Homo-oligomer: A and B are copies of this chain.
Amino acid sequence: MSTPPAICRSVESARRMIRDVQQRGGRTGFVPTMGALHAGHLSLVAAARERDEFVAVSIFVNPTQFGPQEDLNRYPRTWDADFAALTEAGAHMIFAPPVEVMYPSYWSTAVEPPRVSATLEGECRPGHFRGVATIVLKLFQIVPADDAFFGEKDYQQCLVIRDMVRDFDLPIEFHACPTVREPDGLAMSSRNRYLDAGQRQRALGLWRGMQAARAQLAAGLRDARQLEQVVVEQLQRAPVDQIEYVAIRDPDTLETLDVVDRPARLLIAARVGATRLIDNCGL
């Protein structure tokens, strides 16, 4: 049986715990989350455990990355299950601050996120990456770990954070880890809880779209717009209720590609009922 992780609610206690490990010469890993943990999050903890002797996880539903019409208030909070899962996974510390610790009333400094934030999610969710970059910068200052782990399910978020780490010279090593999927292909997401049984089935359109695009590419179709159309058809067949984007892009800059004659990324955002789902894969 594992030792339960220490719970830190203040900046000082979290920072001290990391610094103490580092002072002893230990390497520390950090997995920032919004809780509602699933196997995807736990794979990040496992990756951290492999690389670092001390693993910190933050649980904080960050209000600044939600738009005014978004699901901040109904975002799932599952503390007891999260705590049990992190104990089982062997995390050593949970940083779970109250919102007023992260955003006191006088707070007003933010991160202007890197260029790669402008497209796709940046267009659909104005201010989202400003909120993400700001909270991640703050968390990296509070939990000054050696390694940080993020899931590729949020592919553009990975690029935003990778570029912020680079551009701000943050002394942390960024790691992106593969998306974890349900047996039928649906990407793990805290928002999957919102789906009823019928919606859950229709949500597979994203996976089927990616599979179809890969199959067509393997069969020789290299035109990016035509491959996107293959995905759109799968999404319409599911059907999803709204397609926000289907985009084949440069995997590093997210610039538009016309022909898939080199590594590319396929990114999808669609709604099933009121639930917004995103997914992506390499091509």
Residues of A within 8 A of B (CB): 11, 15, 23, 106-116, 130, 133, 137-138, 141-142, 144, 163-164, 166-171
Contacts and interface: CB of A to CB of B under 8 A. Distances in A.
28 contacts: A15-B171, A23-B23, A106-B163, A106-B167, A108-B114, A108-B115, A108-B116, A108-B163, A109-B111, A109-B112, A109-B113, A109-B133, A109-B163, A109-B164, A109-B167, A109-B168, A110-B112, A111-B111, A111-B112, A112-B112, A112-B130, A137-B168, A138-B168, A138-B169, A141-B169, A141-B170, A141-B171, A144-B171
Given A109-B111, A110-B111, A141-B171, 5 more contacts: A108-B116, A109-B113, A109-B133, A109-B168, A112-B130
Contacts of A130: 112
A259 B278 CA distance: 56
Assembly of this chain: how many copies? 2
Contacts of A164: 109
Contacts of A168: 109, 137-138, 141
A11 B142 contact: no
Nearest to A144: B171
Nearest to A139: B169
Contacts of A107: 167
Contact of A169 (B11, B23, B111, B113): B11
